[in-house]
Structures are given as structure tokens and as C-alpha cells.
């Protein structure tokens, strides 16, 4: 299903706003925290008391002439995008075929996104099929690599999704988590933002994301949502060059996609645009798109699950500098939409810990299946800002330990497992599809 769209009255570019505005907002937030006695921070950034991102020394860079090895984006039933980066001027090429097929290799046209970033759109692919591809930079081959396309709706009963966030720090914990992710089989990966600290520059993305996850990204379609650190450098131009997504509205960073019976909606809570600020007022293009897409999904019998993800969490109980709190009225305006239209899971990051709620409706705990579950998965390897993690009546589990989360959809159950750097399971849970307030046992 392609999400219903509604054009707004204000044409806002995804690059509107300035770096200075982003930093000023951060400094105002930091100043408020300092006044509360959380930390004493310098005006030049987050201050000496907070560690800075590091270069992931144990991870080798991509072999020349590649600066970023190929990675899969915006995959669907019959198409996908492959991107990569090469050093300097080069005439790059890509060829592909269904894996194991007797058909000849096909060439895909390559576009230049600037700064050495190349992209090729692969079309005419079979559904739910392994696709083999090779990329050539200066006649040097990278590959062959293999990824899998999405299945037709209703043809498969299982889906395994990697959920992680706040990862791009270059830390030992990030690298150890990445190696565990690589050893698992995923249909796709979703990220809840802050992919590349500190500023989301071209170098930050190359060193702390593509370099760390290169072996996984060649074969696992990666669907990002944008974090506040991802759009500091050149107001997100590096982010826009690095990734490809099915734009809901031209020039925006929010979107939706289907994978079998699951509808995913990636929110933009971080760009400095009116589309983001409108979330605080319950209006604007992104809010209208979100409501319309959820309303359409509610009447679509092929949609069994709805997952919303974005950077800033409506509910979080981090204590200390990591307890930023939800901006732009997210807690006020978004949960009522999720309650009304049957969202099953909302995942976010921003606060550097892992936290899971019970089912929640109208800000109150309700029985499983009677409301959305909220997850904060900001434990992907960034500095552990959270001094502690508190609790509330809606809390089910919380931890400051580094982790990622496996989401396994099987029929009418979603099985979740959160895994730490040592491979141990930190949290396990099961979610039933949101039946709505009128379902038996869900009423007042």
C-alpha cells in the first residue's frame, strides 16, 4: 500500500533552517540543565565533562578506491537503491541479477550525488527474492553482495527487524554490538536517529556508520529516521546524500513503507523546518500526512501491524543530561493519534538508554493489545549520558546498558528481544496487535 498523501500549504525544503539555529537550541537546553545542577557545561559544546565521539580504530576503512562500500536503501517488492562512495573522480558502474538466475547480468544507471556518493536504482526485481549485485569503482570490484526484496502482502508470515539508535559514536560498545548484529539474519533494519555523531558531517557518516556496519549494510536494507546530530553539518546535506527513502512529500525526511503485513512510518522530529515544528500544534504537512496515513491503514485489511519510529520519544524516564524530554509537543499530540488509529509500537531514541513501556492509552497502562507500546532504543553505542533511569506506572523495563533490539513478527504476535554487547538477552516481551478501545477487556 502506498501511503495516502496530502499536500500542505507551505513549501518547506528539507534543508531549511541553519546550523546556528540548531546549535543555539542545544545551548539553550544545556543552559537549562546546568541551572538545574545536572552538569556544568562550556559554551563551546557539551563541555569537558562529556566524552567526545572517537574514530573506530579497530575497524578497517573501506578498500580503495571506495570510501564507503555498497549499501542497500529504499528496498521494496520490485526495486531497491544501492549507494556507495568512491575517492576522487571515477566512472563507477553497477550490475545485478536475481541470485542464482541463469539470466545475464543487467546494468543499472548510476547517478552522482556529489562528494563521491553514487546511487543506482535497481528495478524490475522479483518479489521476495535474493538479488546479487556488484559495484565497480575505477574498475575495482566490490562484491558480489546479496540482499532480498520485500514479499508481496500476505505471502509471508514472519518478519525479522533490527531496531537500534544513537549509535554513531565509534565506541568499543558500538563495534561489539555491530559484530553481533552481523551474525544474525535480518529482513531489514530501522534506525531511530543520531546515526553519526557529532555533527553528521560527511566524515562522521563515513567513519562512524558506514565503516562500522559495512558488512551488514551490503545485504540488509536500512531505513533511517533522522536525529538532531545528523543534521548539524550543512543542515543535513550530508545525511541527504547518504540515504535514500520513499519521500512522502518531495523534499522532506518523513516517509512510510510496507514490508509484507507491517506498515512502518518514519517520523522527522529533528529537522529545523515547519513540518517538524507543526507537530507541537497538531498541524502542518507532517502531522496531516501522519494522520491520513494512519487513517488509511486502519481500513486496509492487509495491514496487520503499524510501527511508528522517530528520534524523540513521547515517554522516557532518563535521569540526568540524557533526560531531554519530548520536544514540539510530541507527548501531547502524537499518542492520541496512535491511540485512535491502532499503532502497535512506537520506537524512538535520543535518550541514551533502553526503555520499554507496557501498553499505554491516554497516558495510562492498559492490558496488552489495548494500546501502543513505546520503546526508547538509544543504547546503540553513544556516550551513556543518562545518570540513571527512573520509572513510572507505564514502565515495564529499563536499562543503561548498551544494546540493540530484535523485532520478530510472527502472525498475530510480535516477539521482542533486546541484546547486549555480551550477547545476553536483557529484555524479552510479546506484543499483541492493538485491538482498539472497543475490544473486549479494553473498555473503560
pLDDT score, position 9: 28
* Residue 242 in grid coordinates: 547518504
CA distance 348 to 398: 14
| Tens-place pLDDT, residues 303-325 | 999 999 999 999 998 887 666 66
Q: Tell me 149's DSSP state.
A: P
**Strand intervals (E) in 232-390:** 255-259, 262-266, 305-309, 318-320, 345-348, 354-357, 360-361, 364-365, 373-377, 386-389
* Residue 433 in grid coordinates: 496487535
Closest CA to 135 of 200, 201, 217, 75: 217
**DSSP per-residue codes, 263-305:** EEEE---SSSSHHHHGGGTT-SHHHHHHHHHHHHHHT-TT--E
Number of Cβ atoms within 10 Å of the Cβ of 104 = 7
CA distance 304 to 328: 29
Q: Note whether 66-148 and 158-431 share their fold.
A: no
CA distance 243 to 236: 11
The CATH classification number of 66-148 equals: 2.60.40.10
Buried b or exposed e, range 116-144, using 16+ CB within 10 angstroms = bbbbbbbeebeeebebbbbbbbeeeebbe
| Tens-place pLDDT, residues 251-285 | 999 999 999 999 999 999 999 999 999 887 899 99
pLDDT score, position 253: 98
pLDDT score, position 20: 40
Closest CA to 347 of 314, 394, 312, 309: 309
pLDDT score, position 322: 63
For the chain, list residues with pLDDT below 50: 1-48
pLDDT score, position 328: 57
CA distance 244 to 223: 8
What are the residue ranges spanned by the domains of the chain? 66-148, 158-431
pLDDT score, position 53: 93
The CATH classification number of 158-431 equals: 3.60.21.10
Amino acid at each position: 500500500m502506498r501511503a495516502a498523501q496530502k499536500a500542505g500549504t507551505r513549501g518547506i525544503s528539507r534543508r531549511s533552517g541553519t546550523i546556528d539555529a540548531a546549535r543555539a537550541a542545544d545551548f539553550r537546553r544545556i543552559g537549562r540543565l546546568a541551572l538545574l545542577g545536572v552538569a556544568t557545561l562550556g559554551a563551546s559544546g557539551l563541555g569537558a565533562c562529556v566524552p567526545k565521539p572517537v574514530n573506530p580504530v579497530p575497524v578497517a576503512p573501506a578498500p580503495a578506491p571506495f570510501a564507503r562500500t555498497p549499501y542497500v536503501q529504499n528496498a521494496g517488492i520490485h526495486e531497491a537503491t544501492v549507494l556507495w562512495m568512491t575517492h576522487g573522480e571515477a566512472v563507477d558502474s553497477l550490475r545485478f541479477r536475481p541470485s542464482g538466475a541463469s539470466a545475464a547480468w543487467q546494468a543499472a544507471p548510476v547517478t552522482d550525488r556529489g562528494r563521491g556518493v553514487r546511487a543506482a536504482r535497481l528495478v524490475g526485481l522479483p518479489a521476495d527474492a535474493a538479488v546479487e549485485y556488484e559495484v565497480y569503482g575505477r574498475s575495482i570490484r566490490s562484491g558480489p553482495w546479496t540482499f532480498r526484496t520485500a514479499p508481496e502482502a500476505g505471502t509471508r508470515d514472519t518478519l525479522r527487524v533490527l531496531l537500534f539508535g544513537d549509535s554513531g559514536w565509534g565506541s568499543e560498545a558500538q563495534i561489539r554490538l555491530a559484530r553481533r548484529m552481523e551474525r544474525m539474519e535480518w529482513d531489514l533494519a530501522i534506525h531511530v536517529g543520531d546515526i553519526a555523531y557529532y555533527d553528521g558531517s560527511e566524515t562522521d557518516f563515513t567513519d562512524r556508520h558506514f565503516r562500522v556496519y559495512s558488512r551488514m549494510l551490503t545485504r540488509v536494507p536500512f531505513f533511517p529516521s533522522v536525529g538532531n546530530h545528523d543534521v548539524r553539518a550543512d543542515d543535513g546535506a550530508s545525511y541527504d546524500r547518504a540515504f535514500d527513502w520513499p519521500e512522502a512529500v518531495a523534499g522532506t525526511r518523513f516517509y512510510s513503507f510496507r514490508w509484507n503485513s507491517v506498515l512502518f512510518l518514519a517520523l522527522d522530529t529533528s529537522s529545523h523546518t515547519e513540518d517538524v515544528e507543526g507537530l507541537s500544534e497538531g498541524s502542518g504537512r507532517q502531522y496531516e500526512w501522519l494522520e491520513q496515513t494512519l487513517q488509511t491503514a486502519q481500513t486496509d485489511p492487509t495491514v496487520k501491524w503499524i510501527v511508528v519510529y522517530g528520534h524523540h520519544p513521547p515517554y522516557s524516564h532518563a535521569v540526568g543530561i540524557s533526560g531531554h524530554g519530548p520536544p514540539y509537543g510530541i507527548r501531547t499530540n502524537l499518542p492520541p493519534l496512535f491511540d485512535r488509529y491502532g499503532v502497535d509500537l512506537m520506537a524512538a531514541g535520543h535518550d541514551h538508554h533502553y526503555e520499554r513501556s507496557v501498553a499505554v492509552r491516554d497516558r495510562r497502562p492498559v492490558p496488552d493489545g489495548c494500546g501502543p507500546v513505546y520503546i526508547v532504543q538509544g543504547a546503540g553505542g553513544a556516550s551513556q549520558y543518562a545518570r540513571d533511569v527512573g520509572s513510572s506506572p507505564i514502565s515495564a523495563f529499563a536499562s543503561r546498558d548498551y544494546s540493540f533490539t530484535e523485532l520478530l513478527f510472527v502472525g498475530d504476535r510480535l516477539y521482542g528481544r533486546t541484546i547486549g554487547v555480551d550477547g545476553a538477552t536483557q529484555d524479552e516481551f510479546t506484543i499483541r496487535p492493538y485491538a482498539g478501545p472497543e475490544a473486549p477487556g479494553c473498555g473503560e
